[in-house]
Amino acid sequence: MTDPYAIAAASAEQLARLTGVDSHDVAVVLGSGWAPAADAIGAPDAVVPVAELGGFAEPTVPGHVPAVRSVRAGRLRALVFLGRTHLYEGHEVATVVHGVRTAIAAGCRVIVLTNAAGGIRSGLRPGQPVLISDHINLTGRSPLAGPPPPDGYPSRFTDLSEAYSAKLRAIARAADPTLEEGVYAALAGPQYETPAEIRMLLAAGADLVGMSTALETIAARHLGAQVLGLSLVTNLAAGLSDQPLDHSEVVAAGQQAALRMGTLLAEILPRIA
């Protein structure tokens, strides 16, 4: 089977069988070091290794766990992915967005995408959560490139005028009025950006920078799901501090803030209903 939409549908069928839940409402994808946040969202009714679902590649990056949980969040049934895969791991775009497509095939109409990000805008500080208001996709890739979607799926020419739902951002701010918003720039990685690249991104209007999320957002919006994006600032971007950038410190920062992030998500998810 080579059709990525059919593969996602098959993964969703397997997910329903293994969790005992016919349909889920919302999916959460956790970023680097955020796995402990899953506990704050709620006790899982089922935990499924993604290797048992088909179509998934196991993450090779520290801080990402190859499993998905089925959790009750208020009146909603949530899927919580404990990690993700990235372009820089050598995967095809279809593999990178497979979790999002599977979640939507499993019934999810809201996708919550979280990530660890470098802070570009002055005033953003490590440990701070920031709502994503928009993104700049600088990966050079799209999940909608290649053969057109099969019959029955929307056109590949997806409108991204509101890539990140204003309604969902308002719900998040109601849960935590201190949340700021920012534009997320997605680069392919895995190397961190140069100071010159950060100056370019700042001039282009980016407030945050990372190596994920944008492709998943495009895939989700193509299939009609609403997206809420949430970045955790784990470090200041290159050239903005005297500290060298280190992935282990990014993961550690995510782990230190995991309880706060999980508590925030636990507040937000029931309000989506």
As annotated, the active-site residues are: 32, 64, 86, 88-89, 116, 211-212, 235, 247
Dihedral of the alpha carbons of 103, 56, 188, 80, in degrees to the nearest 10? 40
d(CA 229, CA 208): 12
User: Which tokens in the block code for residue 223?
Assistant: 């299939």
Three-state secondary-structure class, residue 130: strand
Contacts of 205 (CB under 8 A, 6+ apart): 136, 183
d(CA 74, CA 52): 27
C-beta neighbour count of 153 within 10 angstroms? 12
d(CA 228, CA 210): 16
What single string gives the DSSP state of each residue in 12-35?
A: HHHHHHHHS-S--SEEEE--TT-T
CA 246 vs. chain centroid, Å, equals: 21
C-beta neighbour count of 254 within 10 angstroms? 25
d(CA 63, CA 222): 28
| Nearest in space to 32 (alpha carbons), one of 104, 91, 97, 81 | 81
